[in-house]
Structure 1
Amino acid sequence: MTPPVRIAQLSCGPDYSGVQNEINTAAKEVNGEIFFPDIALKDIRRDFDAFGLDVKSPDLKLAIARAKALVDGRVDADAVFIATCFRCAEAAIVRNELRRYIHENSKLPVVSYSFTERTTAGTLLTRMEALTTIARRRALLAREEQQGITLGVDSGSSTTKAVVMKDNQIIGTGWTPTTEVMKSAHDVIDNALKEAGITMKEVEAIGTTGYGRFLIGKELNANLIQEELTVNSKGAVYLADRQHGPATVIDIGGMDNKAIAVMDGIPGTFTMGGICAGASGRFLEMTSKRLGVDITELGPLAMKGMGGRV
């Protein structure tokens, strides 16, 4: 049995709001194990002072000391999860600073989340899955070239896409609005295979991602079922030829958005919009309809605006 990914939690407030059990459940769903780094009392003041951020909350001071211990290598972990209440401005500052500090000073994958009393394990699942994926599959994410004939299917909330690759070259693609999940998947697969000039029997490996990844993955007997955050970031740096050095990926999805910091092809830290679909693909789609323009025209129109006066 694969050992669980050890996820160090740095947080303030999840116990009081009843969210801690949801965090534990989400981690367990992806074979992760939440733990709180042990810090000696005498080290808390030293580490807090060394960090240089003045906060009043004892829980935030402890979170800072734990982050310092992780970066210094005094505590072993595979990944880091930072969680604070969305109501607290001080916590928001600390959350962002800790994420930046860990990302810049270690190789630990880290995600931060601003929770509410309504946060559920389902809300956290993609984040936890991405954390464990990065921890387990660093070698796969670091791979720079694709080999053989492979098929990838992205079953998104708004659109379904398929890509066929052969020896690091894209040879077939398919795209359609998502209606029925399985029908949309089969449609784009057929289109991609037709464009590639091959049959399904010639495909050597299949990967699925997106909201419908588990359903489609089971149907296709996929070799790899992976959340969209790591998949999309890897695809973006591949297409942009930025697999070496730092890169930032902004993924505007149908129902949520993601900002991902990537180093040498491997995602290191990321954040997701989690409260509403504002500025997502669906939002932009509705905006373009109200303006009477195609969605592809929104970018050029925005560039003509008076952003300098905002």
Structure 2
Amino acid sequence: MKSRTKYLLTDDEIKKIYSKYSSESIDKINVLSNGEFNSVYLIESNDQKYVLKVGTNLLIDVMPHEKNMISNEVFWYKKIKEHTNINIPDILYHNTTKEIINADYFIMSYINGNELDIDKLETTNKLNAINEKMKIIADFHNIKSDKFGYITDRLFENWYDAIKNMVTNIKDKSLSLGKDIFNSNRLLDFIEINKEVLINVQSSAVFFDLWDSNILIDDNDYYVIDPERCFYGDPICDFVATVFTQTLEEGRDSILLYNQYSQNKIEINNETEIRYKVALGYLALIMEVEKYLRYEEDHELYKRNDGISKWLFSLIWNKE
């Protein structure tokens, strides 16, 4: 998948990188994944398979929360392993020296599974998959903190200050690109109006990117990959990628499933709907601005981002 942020490597560069981890020779190299941000390669060596994930070239302009994303991902893999029962790959080697390439990277174990695709499943299997997904989210939220924000940026004492900073960072990036995004100011106003609601949120780990493609199924075991966009914040944010509806009420069945596994139950009320609207707005703003950095204007994913961000903002503001 073509994207300006992907750092495409030569076979020689991959071999040099792999030699830092192992003295074994490489038998085969293939491009892996249809991801839109990082480059991922499948390495086969001595009858074993490994995954090499490469961050962006430091010369490439990225979104504020996408800086040092490889280190962020390694951090969250470690947290998941220490504090949850979620299945994940093993990080085998992590390098930030920039000696071979101008980017961070890591090598991890290979999961021989298929991407989850709930929409294509039959009814019984679909219900089981949704149940497993809610179980994963509830377990992930067991990772707690008294801080809020991205660990690669600033951490704040409350969710109001953190999300305000996160949105402001994206607004500033859009302005640096010559794009004055009306919705960034409107979202900041909405955050300010609802300060008292947001300031009282209890912090937990937030995956914020748990789409089906980030869950692999191997022999009925569910594995989570790509925790690169995690932050500490409002747990309601994780229903953006799982419920993905106009209101939490429309996703009530998923919320009830989540509550079966979570220590901290979610009530669907006016305050949680406000918090959910903030989360939807944050995703919409990301999608609106990142398209300028990743794609040409005639690219299908530029058009996808443009359409989804407009749709999300129309849902949010039409409900005010």
Do they superpose with TM above 0.5? no
TM-score, length basis structure 2: 0.29
TM-score, length basis structure 1: 0.29
Who wins on radius of gyration, i.e. which is larger? Answer: 1
Give the number of the structure with larger relative contact order, counting CA–CA contacts within 8 Å between residues 6 or more apart: 2
Structure number having the greater strand percentage:
1
